[in-house]
Amino acid sequence: MAQVKAIRRFTVRTVLPEPIRPLARLATNLRWSWHRPTRELFESLNPRVWAQCGNDPVSFLGLVGREDMHRLATDKDVVARVQAAAADLDRYLTEPRWYQGLGSDAPASIAYFSPEFGITEVLPQYSGGLGILAGDHLKAASDLGVPLIGVGLLYQAGYFKQSLSRDAWQQETYPVIDPDGLPLTLLREPAADGNGKPLEISLPLPNGRHLAAHIWRADVGRVPLLLLDSNVPGNDDAARSITDRLYGGGGDHRLQQELLLGMGGVKALRAYQKLTGTPAPEVFHTNEGHAGFLGIERIQELMAGEQSLTFDEALAAGRSSTVFTTHTPVPAGIDRFEAAQIQHFFEAGLAPDVPTSRILDLGRENFHEGNPFVFNMAVMGLRLAQRANGVAKLHGEVSRGMFSALWPGFDHSEVPITSVTNGVHVPTWVDPRISKLARERFGPEAEVMGRWDLAYNVSDAEVWALRREMRVSLVEDVRRRLRAAWKKRGAADAELAWTDSVLDPDVLTIGFARRVPTYKRLTLMLRDPERLKALLLHKEHPIQLVIAGKSHPADDAGKKMIQDLVRFTDDPAVRHRIVFLPNYDIAMARTLFPGCDVWLNNPLRPLEACGTSGMKAAINGSLNLSVLDGWWDEMYDGENGWAIPTANNGASADERDDIEAAALYELLETQVAPRFYGNTVSEAAGAAGPSESGHEKIPTHWVSMIKHTLSHLGPAVSAERMLQDYVNVLYRPAAVSGREAVAGSYAQAKALAAWVAKVRAAWPQLHVEHVDSLGVSEDPQIGDTLQVHAYVGLHNLSPQDVAVEVAYGQAADSDELANVTMVELEAKEELGNGRYLFAGSIVIDRSGSFGYTVRVLPKHDALASKAELGLIVNA
């Protein structure tokens, strides 16, 4: 009923009897989604209703009848447990944690913007990895006491639910959420009865229209998450549907979502600050380019504020405290709009004090191979943020190459984009049986202290038994889901008896679940269907596969892949060993990761920016079998899983698929399966198929790989490690820069802006006249010192404005330098007419061909990197 919209909504909340009233707080704070004891408390109050409400405490409280509630409220034991849980939550929310032990440079507040947040299946506001990562970011921030505030949009339909037609074509439905039935609180203006008007922010749109939004707050432990909702009475129908669904439509719809997220998001933050008296964020972090307009809103604030900064001064101040994270390794994946479209919207007065031409310049692709008619959100993101990062080491490298046109003249390695490798929130993704074992065996500290090394203190038999238990749970879940999926596809119960015996709890179980863009190659395993069949049906070493994934609704190529795969799984000869489960989501994922022995990942390298599903598998003791892409490229160590070899760069797409599929089959057949069944040479004693031996025989090599995976990857892939990296590498330096920029009425921002203007104007006149080297003989030796003299024309700049560097290293045939070292030269003499002699010495520290060059770069204390301004003169 998209056309019929309520003009008013009412909140009907359960009124809880006084003694158990804290249950409301326990239900609305999403900490329950990663805090097992809170969920167990709800379950214990009424297991039947708990099972019915899909693990959702808010709907649970709505479903337990009034009489039952009153009975619970008179039960002393219940009341005591509720009070204890509430006290525990309060302690969690207020006690000092890791962040509180940091120095005063740590920012008082950090705003984190993201178009999607995957926190729990109860709040379906995510489509895939980006959203799950954002959810994990907030949860880890909460656990560490990092004072983060999340900002996003509240979509009426979130992402779609996936089902299949009889002929295996993806079907999408968009169930509409009711925010009043979710763990969300509407922000209201203060009023004595607590029922003030909803807080509202508003953006002007072209043609005199406007886009208003209300603000919902979700509590993610200690972290508030503000979600903007445009489905409000004051909006016209078009404006009301701006937040209708995640990544809705193209063009204007998408653009307005991003304007609301970025610009409206900053306005919502300000309203929230005013309402609660919380400190203003000192750092702004945008998770991917979609929220980039937040930088424009901040420039607008500064230009309109008391200081009336100029555009350049406001830009300098805003950039200093902004962090941009890119997640996209391919240019085609980047969000772009027509420049004319951006102009049309901003001319409506979205940022009345900011010249539209300057806004357009921020997103303009005015570089080699750029399209001047396009407005590029990632380019704007990079220009509005002084600090930027990719999400794995390899992805950092790929990003530095991909965006190098913005820093012409610099080596790719100098492009100022660092990397922070993603992580996963362990309490969310680790199977409760693992944390329970850790707690019972090693005490409650083991669970919270990340003592992954203790895995070595658990016996092989116990590890193996636990893995089987988790596999059994997955098999049961698969059978239930498969039957339901077939009923949706139109099958009758009578046809579905076979689903009760799908999968075998003692067969090597391999998982593959993720979104289905082409580069992830869902169907690589089908490259040689007969070979896959043989692996599935192998007499001694069979494998079984559990597969899931949603294709973007507009991506028919992805849907075709799903169809091809499902058609293969429909074959009665193999359908007991390979299944496709529709509607991959957080709930399914939590059973899937622990239940799989091996997690398969075969993207086209290097198109997987990081990937996190393999990390979730690893913390549950599943072994990764993956192309060396994303996180696996830096964390595979030879004993924690397997690397699928990749074809050479020269190979065509078809050849690549052939080569990599063959390598995958080969690994499965000769390495993975034999080791799982304990049939490798060293473990060959009493080799037998799965049905006879079951779980009695322990494959010791496999179990040692599990322990190694847990102990080494556990700490490395955890979101706490990721958050600590963000705090140390990006947030703290950004807070320091931001404070310096604004101190003394923005003195530094003003000075920096003036300096940048001067440097940019002078730069085309700068040149290195000539370079002399003294002190080396005809026959140089290691240890010789080389004096370098550079004569440089600085036009009207002074030597303090620049760094003149000698870069030296191994010279290749092409004259390109490798293993480069930089040494800054000193200004020695003013020669008149803006000319200077710079000099210094370098020590020849290696044999072989040696080369050097001289370059000039702008230099200022407020720059975070040498390449920041994209200005360089190479001799």
Ligand X SMILES: *Cc1c(COP(=O)(O)O)cnc(C)c1O
Compute the least distance from the CB of residue 311 to ligand X, in Å.
38
- Contact between 128 and ligand X by CB under 6 A: the answer reads yes
- Told to check if 246 binds ligand X by CB under 6 A, we report no
Closer to ligand X by Cβ: residue 129 or 674: 129
Closest CB 616 distance from ligand X, rounded Å: 6
Residue 42, classified by CB atoms within 10 Å of its CB into exposed (0-12), middle (13-18) or buried (19+), is buried
User: Looking at beta carbons only, is 75 or 585 nearer to ligand X?
Assistant: 585
Binding part of the chain for ligand X, among 125-133, 311-319, 534-542, 862-870 by CB under 6 A, reads 125-133
**CA gap 390, 420 in Å, rounded:** 6
What are the b/e assignments for 296-326, b being 16+ CB within 10 Å? bbbbbbbbeeebebbbbbbbbbbbbbbbbbb
Contact in structure between 509 and 542 (CB atoms under 8 Å): no
Closest approach, Cβ 85 to ligand X, in A, equals 27
**Total chain residues near ligand X (CB under 6 A):** 12
Residue type, 56: D
Q: Is there binding between residue 612 and ligand X (CB under 6 A)?
A: yes
Q: Is 613 in the site for ligand X (CB under 6 A)?
A: yes
Site string for ligand X, 756-795 (x = CB under 6 A): ----------------------------------------
Q: How far is it, in rounded angstroms, from Cα 324 to Cα 285?
A: 6
Q: Rounded to the nearest whole angstrom, what is the least distance from the CB of residue 177 to ligand X in the complex?
A: 17
Which residues does residue 439 pair with via DSSP β-bridges, in sequence order? none
Smallest separation, CB 421 to ligand X (Å): 12
Output the smallest distance, CB 762 to ligand X, in A.
46
Least Å distance, CB 521 to ligand X, is: 12
Residue 231 burial by Cβ neighbours in a 10 Å radius (0-12, 13-18, 19+): buried
514 binds ligand X (CB under 6 A): yes
With CB under 6 A as the contact rule, the residue among 16, 27, 69, 132 that binds ligand X is 132
Q: Report, in Å, the least distance between residue 123 CB and ligand X.
A: 13
Q: Does residue 125 bind ligand X (CB under 6 A)?
A: no
508-513 β-sheet, strand order: 578-581, 543-548, 508-513, 598-601, 623-627, 641-644
Nearer to ligand X, 610 or 790 (CB): 610
The minimum distance between CB 516 and ligand X, in angstroms, equals 10
**How many residues are recorded in the chain?**
875
Q: Of 267 and 616, which has the nearer Cβ to ligand X?
A: 616
Only one of the segments 258-266, 300-308, 606-614, 667-675 lies at the binding site for ligand X (rule: CB under 6 A); that segment is 606-614
850: helix, strand or coil? strand
Residue 263 CB, shortest distance to ligand X, in Å, is 28
CA 134 from chain centre, in angstroms, equals: 6
Instruction: Provide the token pair at 695.
Output: 């779980």
The beta strands (E) that lie in 71-222 are given as 110-113, 148-153, 161-164, 170-173, 185-186, 200-204, 210-220
- Of the candidates 57, 107, 115, 129, which one interacts with ligand X according to CB under 6 A? 129
Of 47-55, 261-269, 610-618, 650-658, the segment contacting ligand X by CB under 6 A is 610-618
Find the helix or strand (DSSP H, E) in which 841 lies. Answer: strand 835-843
Return the number of the residue (391 or 507) whose C-beta is nearest ligand X. 391
Binding-residue pattern over the window 278 to 317 for ligand X, x denoting contact by CB under 6 A: ----------------------------------------
Query: Distance between CA atoms of 122 and 109, rounded to whole angstroms?
Result: 27
Nearest CB to ligand X, comparing residues 129 and 363: 129
Alpha helices in 293-431 (DSSP H): 294-304, 311-320, 339-346, 356-363, 377-384, 393-402, 426-429
Residue whose structure tokens are 């080297």: 773
Binding flag, residue 388, ligand X (CB under 6 A): no
For residue 198, is the peptide bond before it cis, meaning its omega torsion is within 30 degrees of 0?
A: no
Applying CB under 6 A, the span of 43-51, 476-484, 522-530, 605-613 interacting with ligand X comes to 605-613
Q: What DSSP designation does 755 have? A: H
Region binding ligand X by CB under 6 A among candidate stretches 5-13, 127-135, 288-296, 777-785: 127-135
CB distance 782 to 844 below 8 Å: yes
Q: How far is the CB of 831 from ligand X (least distance, A)?
A: 58
In angstroms, give the least distance from the CB of 614 to ligand X.
6
| Closer residue to ligand X in complex, CB, 584/755 | 584
Residue of 139, 327, 400, 616 that binds ligand X (CB under 6 A)? 616
Token pair for 474: 């997955």
Helix (H, G, I), strand (E, B) or coil at 401: helix
**Among 289, 295, 582, 611, interactor with ligand X by CB under 6 A:** 611
By C-beta, is 133 or 753 nearer to ligand X?
133
Between 175 and 686, CB nearer to ligand X: 175
CB 425 within 8 A of CB 35: no
Interface with ligand X by CB under 6 A: which range of 124-132, 177-185, 312-320, 721-729?
A: 124-132
**Shortest reach from residue 596's CB to ligand X, in Å:** 13
What is the rounded CA–CA span in Å between residue 776 and residue 200? 72
- Nearest approach in angstroms of CB 602 to ligand X is 12
Candidates 463-471, 487-495, 607-615, 794-802; binding stretch for ligand X (CB under 6 A):
607-615
The least distance separating ligand X from the CB of residue 121, rounded to whole angstroms, comes to: 9
Q: Return the number of the residue (131 or 224) whose C-beta is nearest ligand X.
A: 131
Of 868, 842, 872, 845, the C-alpha closest to 766 is 872
- Residue 3 has a CB neighbour count (10 Å cut-off) of 5
Q: Which is nearer to ligand X, 160 or 584 (CB)?
A: 584
Query: Which residues ranging from 575 to 594 are in contact with ligand X (CB under 6 A)?
Result: 584-586, 589
Contact 243, 155 (CB under 8 A): yes
Closest CA to 33 of 57, 64, 59: 57
x-or-dash pattern for ligand X, window 461-500, by CB under 6 A? ----------------------------------------
The Cα–Cα gap between 425 and 344 comes to 42
Residue 672 one-letter amino acid? V
Segment interacting with ligand X, rule: CB under 6 A, options 70-78, 98-106, 126-134, 854-862: 126-134
Cβ contact 481:588 at 8 Å: yes
Quick check: 121 binds ligand X (CB under 6 A)? Answer: no
Long-range Cβ contact pairs of 305-309 (< 8 A, separation 24 or more) = 307/745, 307/746, 309/746, 309/749, 309/750
> Which residue, 616 or 656, is less far from ligand X as judged by CB?
616
Please state the closest distance from residue 24 (CB atom) to ligand X, in A. Answer: 28
- Min. distance of Cβ 550 from ligand X in angstroms? 8
Closer CB to ligand X, 318 or 614, in the complex? 614
Burial class (CB within 10 angstroms; exposed 0-12, middle 13-18, buried 19+) of 681: exposed
Nearer residue to ligand X within complex by CB, 128 or 264? 128
CA-closest candidate to residue 617, choices 709, 747, 739: 709
Instruction: Give CB contacts under 8 A, 24+ apart, made by 163-168.
Output: 163/485, 163/488, 163/489, 163/582, 163/583, 164/485, 164/488, 164/489, 164/562, 164/566, 164/580, 164/582, 165/489, 166/489, 166/490, 167/563, 168/489, 168/562, 168/563, 168/566, 168/567, 168/570
Is 139 near ligand X (CB under 6 A)? no
**Closest approach of ligand X to the CB of residue 415, in Å:** 24
Q: What residues make contact with ligand X under the rule CB under 6 A?
A: 128-129, 132, 514, 584-586, 589, 611-613, 616
